[in-house]
Amino acid sequence: MTGEKDASDTKEHVIPGTEKKFTGEDVEGYDFRGDFDMTEMLEKYSTTGFQATHLKEAIELVKEMRDEDCKIFLTFTSNIISSGLREVVAYLARKDYVDVMITSAGSHTEDIIKANDDFKMGEWEADEAELREEGINRLGNIYVESDHYVWLESWLNDDFFEDFFSDEKIRTPSDLAYELGEAVGEDEDLDESDSFIYHAANNDIPVYCPAMIDAEIGDFMFYYRQEQDEDIGIEILDDWDSLINEAIGAEKTAIISVGDGVPKHQAIMSNLFRGGTDYAVYISTGMEGDGSLSGAPPKEAVSWGKIKENTKNYTQVEAEATLVFPLLVAEAFKKYNP
């Protein structure tokens, strides 16, 4: 055929060779021969590659946060409490390992419900209309009966709201979280053992919730104001003042962000007032390409001054939190005692 070249002439394109050797560590995973050791396996994550390496970086950064006695801001979205990660967050609060919590209103709702009754494992694939008729709400593969929310409204109206608003009509979300935690502990019918909101209150860990109305507790306060006391309200600016002062009053700060959205942003934004946080670890499934805060990686926060520019003071684990957060807590908190 006219113009045909010898195939050997293409080798320089397919196998160009290496002009300069790269001197990085060898890629090597855990050797499962012999007795199994979880800590050794996680050590090998550093040379496993992909998100395993980022998780090992996150573990080391959290250890460094603790070594440096940083004020640790833990942020998490409400689905974390919907899942079995509630027990992990409760452990951190029970042991007083974190100093500030920032979350969304569903965390309060579902933490209190779980103190009364359990959520159930369901299926991802379901007839949604049928579940609606049966009074079952689906959170992924976790099912929550609507009766749980009926109970919660009754508990709030009968046992909580009147006392909470009796002395002051306008309260803050952190007030609400603290007194909900106390109320859970005082109610003999509730199991506070794995309630993060109870352990936070017990250890004076403030729980901030900028979007307090964005869950059933907000719905029930709406009805309570309509039907019981039109003068009540939730004021968020006082909490913003307090949260900023949590940051600027600390010698060093660190952020562990489990999930994205408003909780993550309130943590990094409050640290902007002190020139940025010293350390940050994100566990995220957010997509950077849409330009959202949820998808923004830590390096973007450096451009805003929300994370200090420093070599290896932040990382992001691009993974679903139930897979990696327990491993992070096991290695950087449970097994590590600085």
- Rounded (10°) angle between helices 173-186 and 105-116: 10
CB 104 within 8 A of CB 78: yes
Q: Which helix (H) or strand (E) holds 193?
A: none
Q: What angle do CA 69, 73, 79 make, to 5 degrees?
A: 140
3-state secondary structure of 98: coil
Residue 31 zone, left/alpha/beta (φ > 0; ψ -120 to 50; rest): beta
CB 199 within 8 A of CB 94: yes
Q: Enumerate the β-bridge partners of residue 281.
A: 256, 315
Query: Which residues of 11-115 form beta strands (DSSP E)?
Result: 71-76, 100-103
Sign of the torsion angle spanned by Cα atoms 89, 92, 95, 98: negative
Q: CA–CA separation, 204 vs 56, rounded Å?
A: 31
Residue with tokens 């979205």: 77
Instruction: Supply the residues annotated as catalytic.
Output: 306
Q: CA–CA separation, 338 vs 132, rounded Å?
A: 50
Amino acid letter, 75? T
